A and B are shown apart, each in its own frame.
Chain A
Amino acid sequence: MNLVIALLRRELRLAARARTEWLMPPFFFVVVVTLFGLGARPNDPLLAGFAPAVLWVAALLAALLTLERLFRPDLEDGTLEQLCLSGTSLGLVVAIKLLAHWLLSGLSLVLLAVPAAMALGLESGRQALFIGLLLGTPALSLLGGFVAALTVGLPRGGALLPVLALPLIVPVLVFGAGAVRAAQSGLDAQAPLYFLAAILALCITLIPWAAAIALRNAFDA
């Protein structure tokens, strides 16, 4: 338990010292949503129909922004190797790093999404958007973290990362935007939200260990 707290504190302290890095995702999210608003006809009522897709795509692109830096600094200064050798489960270490990543980038997107949805004119379905993002963004961090672990040692990993991550996060997008659309048209949004919860449960149980194997593989390379 001490280890968990110590690792989490280290991650948050490092983030506090490099603030711009962690302010980028929410800023990016707001800019993308604003650009859609500007690109459409002024006060176009149709914009609300596209709002679920716009908000979700903006959120997952914003989540991808910081992924490349997730493991690379630790790999370069040798911290990751020390953690690998320390005898603690690497899966646990990865899980904590991903939790910190979500706290810093995912959570702010969840909080920003509702005001952004109001800006796009989304009337009903804000609750489904909030709960959906609350369940979906951790899954984005986990799946993206797995891909970041796969590509961590590669010189051209930065370009490869989104290409590998986007197909894996398609289900999150489909059910997340689906929940908002269902609520928008007055239907029950519970089923897609349960799907999102199931995806998250699956990711939490399996992804940290898969990512740990990927990191060990990166050392061998």
Chain B
Amino acid sequence: MNWTWFHRLGSPPTFYRFAERLAPWLGGVSVVLLAYAWYAGLVLVPADYQQKDAFRIIYVHVPAAALSLALYAAMAVAGAVALIWRMKLAECAVIAIAPVGASFTALALITGMLWGKPMWGAYWVWDARLTAELVLLFLYLGVIGLAQAFDDARAAARACALLALVGVVNVPIVHYSVEWWNSLHQGSTILKFGRPSMSLEMAVPLYAALLGTALFCAQMVLRRMQNEVLRRERNTAWVRKMGSELLERGDVS
């Protein structure tokens, strides 16, 4: 197999054009998937026998929580690549992922609280999984704060990569907290081996929501990486050329 196309992606201009083509597709597919998932989840699927209609928040909460962890893992991997091979795009990825991950962590916490009030009788309990997710939010905010404190973009990205790597210990703790400790949070319903403990009718929209949210995140991260690439390379020939072409076509003023 020929890998040159992959190596070429490491160059900012090639990546920029690649992302420009890919991002609309990711966005479009995610809109279709999420529209189906939420319509099916909120309207078509029958209410749960125990939790009644309150269970429907699963179609927002579970994808948000899953993505909050997945994005942190992705940020840590990008950070390792940035530190070991000093790849510019991996540095951009670290910076780009942090705000997206922070928003999804906040979304998971807020939807969880809204669900917790009718189910547990309290918005917040000091429980292993909830606390670990909150710490995850603080870690994301720390990365964002650190990124903005540096003047030099490359030094900022490498510092953030280090912080992300040291904080990555938290990810398995959040994921396994329900199994390790007697957590109030319920166990996993679908992401486990064997049969899902959920009827297929309810599970299919959830899978669609998971995939749709993941694609939406991918699209947002690509767009943010494009912005970061443009910001860093604003004085290079290819960015100037692209800018003047846009001006000629009248797309921007």
Q: Is the CB of A221 within 8 A of B142?
A: no
A-B contact count (CB 8 A): 62
Chain B interface residue bracket vs A: 20 to 34
Q: Is the CB of A217 within 8 A of B155?
A: yes
Is the C-beta of B150 less than 8 angstroms from some C-beta in chain A? Answer: yes
In the complex formed, the residue of A with least CB distance to B137 is: A167
* CA gap between A210 and B173 in the complex, in Å: 21
Q: Is the CB of A210 within 8 A of B149?
A: no
Q: Is the CB of A210 within 8 A of B155?
A: no
For B138, the chain A residues whose CB sits under 8 A away are 163, 166-167
Number of A interface residues in the complex (CB < 8 A): 27
Cβ contacts B156-170/A at 8 Å (1 or 0 each): 101100110111010
- Min Cβ gap B103→A in Å is 17
Q: Is the CB of A220 within 8 A of B155?
A: yes
Q: Is the CB of A157 within 8 A of B149?
A: yes
- Min Cβ gap B129→A in Å is 13
Using A151-B146, A160-B149 as known contacts, say yes or no to A170 and B163 having CB atoms under 8 A apart.
Answer: no
For A202, the chain B residues whose CB sits under 8 A away are 169
Is the C-beta of B151 less than 8 angstroms from some C-beta in chain A? Answer: yes
Cβ contacts A105-134/B at 8 Å (1 or 0 each): 000000000000000000000000000000
Q: Is the CB of A151 within 8 A of B166?
A: no
Q: Which of B83, B145, B152, B163 has the most CB of A within 10 A?
A: B163
* CA gap between A143 and B162 in the complex, in Å: 12
Binding site for A on B (CB under 8 A): 83, 131, 135, 138-139, 141-142, 145-146, 149-152, 154-156, 158-159, 162-163, 165-167, 169, 173
22 contacts between A and B (CB under 8 A): A143-B166, A147-B163, A150-B163, A151-B149, A154-B149, A163-B142, A164-B146, A167-B142, A168-B167, A171-B169, A171-B173, A202-B169, A210-B166, A213-B162, A217-B155, A217-B158, A217-B162, A218-B155, A220-B152, A220-B154, A220-B158, A221-B152
